[in-house]
C-alpha cells in the first residue's frame, strides 16, 4: 500500500518546493488580495475555492496523461521529466527578464456574487494553459517510477499541492485588509517577487535535471 504514494524523501522535497513556490506572491495571490479588499475576506476565500477546484481538475488530467505515457514508454516519461525541468528553467528566465505578469488592480474590481466569484476563479484557472503545463512539468519530478502506481503518486502530490495552496492563499486573503493595498503598489515588492520567483523556478528545474541524471 505504501507503493501508492511517493517515497518519504520525494514527498518531503515536494512539500518544501511547494511551500517555496506558493509563499512567493504572484498574479493569483494579488487577484485574491484585490477581491478581499473590494468585497471582504470571504470573497477572497470563495475565489480561492474556485481556483483550487480547477487545480484538482488539472491534477487529474496530469495523473491520467502521464500514467498513460509511462504505460506506453518509460523513455517517453523520462523525456517528459527532462522537458519539464527545461520548462521550469524557462519560466524562471521569463520571470527574470520578461514583462511582469502581475495584473493592474489599481482601478478596483466590480462586485460579484459568491457563486460568480467561485465560477470566475474556477474558469480562469481551468482555462489557463500555463497551469496545465506547470503540473505536467512539476509533478513528475517527484514521482518514483520504481514504486509503481504513477497515476496515484501524481494524484497524491497534486492533492497535497492543492491543500497547501488553499492554506497559503487563505493566509494571504486574511491578511489582505492590512497589507494588500501596500503590496499592490509597492515597487520593492514587485521587484522582489520577480527575482525570487525567477530563481525558485530555475532552481527547481536544475534540481530536477541533475536528480534525473543521478537516478539514471
Domain positions in the chain are 2-215
Number of Cβ within a 10 Å radius of residue 79: 12
Distance CA 158, CA 141 (A): 12
Which of 10-24, 164-178, 198-212 shows the lowest per-residue confidence on average (mean pLDDT)? 198-212
Distance CA 37, CA 41 (A): 7
Express as a percent the part of the chain with pLDDT over 70.
Answer: 72
> pLDDT by residue (tens digit) across 20-75?
888 876 667 777 777 777 777 788 899 899 989 999 998 998 888 877 776 677 67
Q: Where are the alpha helices (DSSP H) in 127-186?
A: 129-138, 150-175, 181-185
Angle at 195 between CA 25 and CA 9, to 5 degrees: 70
Most confident region among 43-47, 76-80, 192-196 by mean pLDDT: 43-47
* Dihedral sign of CA atoms 4, 10, 15, 21 in order: negative
3-class DSSP assignment, residue 104: coil
The answer on pLDDT for 216 being more than 50 is no
> b/e map of 159-182 (b: 16 or more CB within 10 Å)?
ebbbebbbebbbebbeebeeebee
Of residues 130, 111, 116, 131, the one with CA closest to residue 52:
131
**Residue 187 or 86, more confident:** 86
Which of 19-23, 101-105, 111-115, 142-146 shows the lowest per-residue confidence on average (mean pLDDT)? 101-105
> pLDDT by residue (tens digit) across 116-159?
889 888 887 787 667 777 888 888 888 887 887 888 888 999 99
pLDDT band at 161 (very low <50, low <70, confident <90, very high): very high
Amino acid at each position: 500500500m505504501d507503493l501508492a504514494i511517493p517515497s518519504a524523501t520525494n514527498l518531503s522535497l515536494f512539500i518544501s518546493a511547494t511551500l517555496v513556490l506558493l509563499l512567493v506572491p504572484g498574479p493569483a495571490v494579488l487577484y485574491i488580495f484585490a477581491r478581499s479588499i473590494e468585497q471582504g475576506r470571504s470573497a477572497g476565500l470563495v475565489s480561492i475555492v474556485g481556483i483550487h477546484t480547477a487545480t484538482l481538475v488539472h491534477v487529474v488530467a496530469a495523473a491520467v496523461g502521464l500514467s498513460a505515457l509511462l504505460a506506453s514508454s518509460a523513455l517517453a516519461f523520462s523525456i517528459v521529466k527532462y522537458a519539464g525541468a527545461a520548462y521550469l528553467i524557462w519560466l524562471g528566465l521569463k520571470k527574470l527578464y520578461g514583462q511582469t505578469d502581475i495584473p493592474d488592480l489599481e482601478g478596483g474590481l466590480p462586485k460579484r456574487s459568491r457563486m460568480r466569484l467561485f465560477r470566475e476563479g474556477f474558469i480562469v484557472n481551468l482555462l489557463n494553459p500555463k497551469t496545465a503545463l506547470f503540473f505536467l512539468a512539476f509533478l513528475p519530478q517527484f514521482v518514483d517510477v520504481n514504486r509503481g502506481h504513477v497515476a496515484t503518486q501524481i494524484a497524491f502530490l497534486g492533492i497535497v499541492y492543492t491543500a497547501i495552496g488553499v492554506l497559503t492563499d487563505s493566509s494571504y486573503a486574511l491578511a489582505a485588509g492590512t497589507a494588500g493595498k501596500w503590496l499592490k503598489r509597492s515597487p520593492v515588492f514587485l521587484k522582489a517577487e520577480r527575482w525570487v520567483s525567477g530563481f525558485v523556478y530555475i532552481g527547481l528545474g536544475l534540481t530536477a535535471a541533475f536528480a534525473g541524471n543521478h537516478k539514471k
